[in-house]
Every structure is written in C-alpha cells, then in structure tokens.
Copies of this chain bind each other. A is one copy, B any other.
C-alpha cells in the first residue's frame, strides 16, 4: 500500500538511514532481482548492501554445512552468488549478513516455520509440480474457529475443501493431517503445500476428492502467532499437564465440529489420519486409544519408541477393527525417527496389519513429508 510518502521522502529517509544517499537512491531506481532461477535450475541471489563486510547464503539445498558459500561483492556494493543446478524443489533460505540471519530483502515470499522465518524460492520441475499452484481447479481453504470444551478455548484450524465442494450436495471423506513439533496450524499449508498437493492429485484423478483438516497440535495454544495472545505462543509452565489432551480434543471436539458443519461421510471408512514427527505421535496415540475411528492411518517420520504389551494390544485392536491401511514412512537418514519407524513396522508385520512401509532417501524434511502426503492421499478411500 502506498503510504503518504513521496519518492523524495523515501530517498531522504534512506540518506538519513544509510548516510549514502546516491547508492540508496540508485537501489530504489534499479530494483534488485533476487532470487532468479534460470532454465538449467541454477539460482542467482543478489543483495545491495554497500556497508556490509560479509554476506553468506544458507539454503535448504545444503546438506553439508562446510559448503556454505559467500556472496561476491561488486564495486557498487551489490553482492551476488549463483548456485546449482539444484533439483526442482521449494527451498527456504536466508542470507547471513555480518553474522545475522536475515531474509532476502528483494523477495516478498516468506515462510514462517514456528518461531523463525525464511525466504522462499521455487525451482520448477517434475518434483515441484506436485505442490505448485498449477492451472487446475483449486479447492478452497478455510481458517475455521471451533469450540474446544476439552481444552477450554476457541481454537483455529485449516480446512481444505475439494474443488466443487461449494456447489451440489455430495458428501466427502476426510483426512485429518497433523503437523510436527515447532509448527502450528499453518505448517501443512505453508511448508507442506497440502492444498496444492490435493488440487494436483485430484485433477489428475490420482486422489479421491476429500476434505483435509489441519488443526493446531499445541494444546496450550488457541492459534499460531499473530492470531493469539502473545503469551500463548510459548510453552506454558504447566506444559506437561496438556499431555494427551490434544489427542482427546481431536476426537471430542474437532471431528464433531467437522462432521456437524461440513458435508462429510460420517463413518470409519471415510476417515483417515496422518501426522509427521510429533504429529505422528499424536496419530498413534489417537488411533491406539480409538481403534474404531479411522480406517486409514499414516505415521510420517515418527514410528514408535517403547512398544510394550499394552501398545501391542492396542495395535491388535486396530487390526481387529479392520483398518484398511497403516502407512509408515521415514527417510533412511532420519536419525530422529528411522529406528522408531523400523520398530513400528516390525510390530505391524508380526500382527499381520495391512501396512505399507515407505522407506525414502533423505531425512526429517518437508521435501519428504510432501511426498509421503501425496503417496498416502492417493491410497485413501478407494
């Protein structure tokens, strides 16, 4: 939005701020382009910073931290670097300007990951087409507030409805999709790109039209930062007392809200649940305690830690309730969850559960979670 400032005032402001009016004014006039993705999947990053000593670049394409690169400065104070080629993907990145992690000032695309922000760049290609805003019918996405008597507050979640939901009287199945630690209800939309993944799968006939419900898994929090009192964004002192409460609210508050307010099919075979990392734990707790609620269960990059007789009995009850798919997925480099995933799969195998184990490359990353979602979504409600 335009403020009540002229270009002259802006230039004056920059003179005052930087003490280098000419350079600053030139930056205004010749806008820096960053990031710039070339046809061969190289990315050029630029930042105009005449007074900076040193600018480095950290991005999610880096797996070897010794390979962090430094931008080159030209004589006007423009710093630049070209990296790649890199695989088609959506990457978060930051500049490190004299030791401080900053966003790319020329890039409006920002992704919040819990308490941190990163600039975003999308390298188009086959892999990223999965979650790009392609020219296909788009479903709507609603930030919905619901009452949670279990947690004693109004809380927020996202609900994706498939293209065409608004018209007609069809009823749909529902996937409950849970985020991981450090995230909130935004995560599966912003980093997970779940709405676009579903749009693209549905358009290609690879997934059935379904609703996707993405709640906030931090039981002490009404909603993510900015839509909640500041105090609620950090863990409260009595954090431990919330243990198991979110899973309880999912069953007692969230599913009833969805089934009473949306045109959905209200039975087990039309309900799926999946979560990543902490959300994988929420998933196993919820399904272990409610073996008759979901016919499709997905545990991404989580697995199981301490499998005792009680845990085994609960898994058996899930099988006895005729679950249709128990999907477990993990990257082989995921030190947080790979062993737990193997443990869980071993139990499923012994029980004769209808399971699928998806071992992928890579680690505990959104690149993997987007792939797991797309694979599991294509197996649901069929």
Contacts and interface: CB of A to CB of B under 8 A. Distances in A.
B145 A143 contact: no
A28 to B, nearest CB: 12
A102 B103 contact: yes
Contacts of A333: 4
B105 A101 contact: yes
Contacts of A12: 65
B1 A181 contact: yes
Contact of A99 (B3, B52, B223, B366): B52
Contacts of A103: 102-103, 117
Interface residues of A, number: 92
Contacts of A129: none
Interface string A173-189: 00000011111000100
A80 to B, nearest CB: 15
Contacts of A229: 133
A140 B17 CA distance: 41
Interface of A: 1-4, 9, 12-13, 16-20, 24, 47-54, 56, 58, 65-66, 68, 96-103, 105, 108-110, 112-117, 120, 122, 133, 135, 137-145, 154, 156, 163, 166-167, 179-183, 187, 191, 222-223, 225-230, 233, 260-262, 276-277, 331, 333-336, 363-366
A58 B5 CA distance: 14
Contacts of A364: 1-4
A96 B363 contact: no
30 contacts: A1-B114, A1-B187, A2-B182, A2-B277, A2-B364, A4-B333, A4-B335, A12-B65, A16-B68, A17-B58, A17-B96, A17-B99, A18-B96, A24-B99, A48-B100, A51-B54, A51-B98, A97-B98, A102-B103, A103-B117, A108-B116, A110-B112, A133-B223, A133-B229, A138-B145, A138-B154, A138-B156, A140-B142, A141-B142, A166-B261
A191 B54 CA distance: 34
B137 A100 contact: no
As for how many copies of this chain the complex holds, the number is 2
A342 B146 CA distance: 45
**Interface residues of A: mostly helix, strand, loop or mixed?**
loop
Contacts of A228: 133
Contacts of A141: 142-143
Nearest to A366: B1
Contacts of A222: 133
Nearest to A101: B105
Nearest to A58: B17
Contacts of A58: 13, 17
Contacts of A335: 4
Contacts of A225: 108-109
Contacts of A17: 56, 58, 68, 96, 99
Given A1-B366, A102-B103, A180-B1, A109 B191 contact: no
Given A1-B179, A65-B9, A363-B3, A100 B49 contact: yes
A2 B336 contact: yes
A44 to B, nearest CB: 14
A50 B99 contact: yes
A169 to B, nearest CB: 13
Contacts of A180: 1-2
B99 A51 contact: yes
Contacts of A260: 167
Nearest to A199: B145
Nearest to A153: B135
Given A56-B17, A99-B50, A363 B140 contact: no
